[in-house]
């Protein structure tokens, strides 16, 4: 089981709006730092995006999976979220094609399948959930990570590349192999040196810092003429309109059929209301898509999150009679 520090607060006493402010200001500070670096130091965010995709993200997922102690039940959560994210991506992609150019439709489809479950959602989960609930949330988070670097990456690449080139790019992604390696090590109960695991502790916070700074670096080069209200509105409608309904439907279905507990229900509801993923910008930059539009949409959704999430979660919890 993962060792995580958390603040357990009784559900009835939880002021979610106040608890969202700490991660929000932290993330916005990272965005501001990235914008400052782009303007004052003329840093190019593309090499950093490549570093995140090919080194930092795979190591972060590997460490989290090994520490999490995957079980068949946990992996079913990962698979369920992966399938849901993939279906959302494919459906939104089909709907967006008649209204957006190919690159933007692919980017919008990718945004529909993922969310800021890590940088933003995890600090909230650690306040909202018990340690067992946080572990459940983390395996849900892994499902979205897998989507981002498999089908999501492919859909994004297809906006600019052929099927063959897009598949070749996916096969080069080390996160898939890191996931398989972590499962093999856990399944065979192979011990890893304590010094190695301690050394890998620096990767998750680095992942958060650089992921949010890339948004700022991209926004630092953005001009007003590149603002696309239509793309932003579509991305926000899917993230804050469609996803909460999908999460609610999933929880209702699972409670009726499997009788899932309150912790898993809250974890799934949280997955459905976090803002757009920072990795939307990272992947867009790596495949040469419209990272500027992605960055602005991510920033707007992050700013809206403290207003939207408490209302959604409070309403959904009351509807489900949780807490």
pLDDT value of position 191 = 85
Examine residue 10 and state whether it is found in any structural domain, yes or no. no
**Which tops the pLDDT comparison, 119 or 301?**
301
Examine residue 251 and state whether it is found in any structural domain, yes or no. yes
| Contacts with 51 (C-beta within 8 Å, 6 or more apart), sequence order | 210
Report how many domains make up the chain. 1
Angle at CA of residue 200, ends 206 and 22, nearest 5°: 40
Q: Name, of 36-40, 52-56, 123-127, 241-245, the range with top average pLDDT.
A: 241-245
Examine residue 178 and state whether it is found in any structural domain, yes or no. yes
Task: Flag whether pLDDT at 113 surpasses 80.
Answer: yes
Examine residue 79 and state whether it is found in any structural domain, yes or no. yes
**CATH number of 49's domain:** 1.20.1530
pLDDT value of position 1 = 36
Cα separation, 308 vs 291, whole angstroms: 24
Examine residue 189 and state whether it is found in any structural domain, yes or no. yes
Residue 305 burial class via C-beta count within 10 angstroms: exposed 0-12, middle 13-18, buried 19 and up: buried
Q: Which domain holds residue 43?
A: 26-320
Task: Flag whether pLDDT at 27 surpasses 50.
Answer: yes
Examine residue 1 and state whether it is found in any structural domain, yes or no. no
Examine residue 159 and state whether it is found in any structural domain, yes or no. yes
CB atoms within 10 A of CB 50: 13
Examine residue 285 and state whether it is found in any structural domain, yes or no. yes
């Amino acid at each position: 089981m993962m060792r995580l520090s958390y603040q357990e607060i009784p559900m009835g006493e939880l002021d979610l709006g106040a608890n969202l402010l700490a991660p929000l200001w932290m993330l916005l500070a990272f965005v501001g730092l990235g914008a400052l670096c782009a303007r004052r130091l003329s840093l190019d965010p593309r090499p950093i995006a490549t570093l995140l995709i090919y080194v930092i993200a795979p190591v972060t997922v590997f460490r989290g999976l090994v520490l999490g102690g995957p079980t068949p039940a946990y992996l079913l959560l990962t698979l369920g979220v992966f399938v849901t994210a993939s279906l959302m991506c494919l459906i939104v992609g089909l709907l967006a094609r008649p209204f957006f150019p190919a690159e933007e439709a692919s980017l919008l489809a990718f945004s529909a399948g993922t969310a800021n479950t890590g940088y933003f959602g995890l600090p909230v989960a650690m306040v909202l959930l018990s340690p067992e609930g946080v572990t459940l949330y983390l395996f849900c988070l892994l499902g979205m990570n897998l989507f981002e670097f498999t089908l999501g990456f492919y859909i994004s690449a297809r906006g600019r590349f052929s099927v063959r080139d897009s598949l070749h790019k996916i096969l080069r992604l080390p996160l898939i192999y890191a996931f398989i390696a972590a499962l093999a090590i856990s399944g065979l109960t192979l011990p890893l040196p304590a010094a190695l695991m301690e050394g890998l502790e620096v990767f998750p916070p680095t992942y958060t810092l650089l992921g949010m700074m890339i948004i700022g670096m991209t926004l630092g080069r953005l001009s007003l003429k590149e603002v696309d209200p239509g793309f932003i509105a579509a991305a926000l409608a899917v993230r804050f309109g469609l996803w909460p309904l999908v999460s609610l439907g999933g929880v209702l279905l699972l409670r009726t059929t499997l009788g899932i507990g309150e912790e898993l229900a809250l974890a799934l509801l949280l997955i459905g209301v976090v803002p757009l993923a920072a990795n939307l910008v990272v992947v867009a930059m790596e495949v040469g898509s419209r990272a500027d539009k992605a960055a602005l949409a991510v920033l707007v959704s992050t700013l809206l999150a403290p207003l939207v999430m408490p209302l959604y979660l409070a309403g959904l919890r009351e509807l489900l009679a949780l807490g």
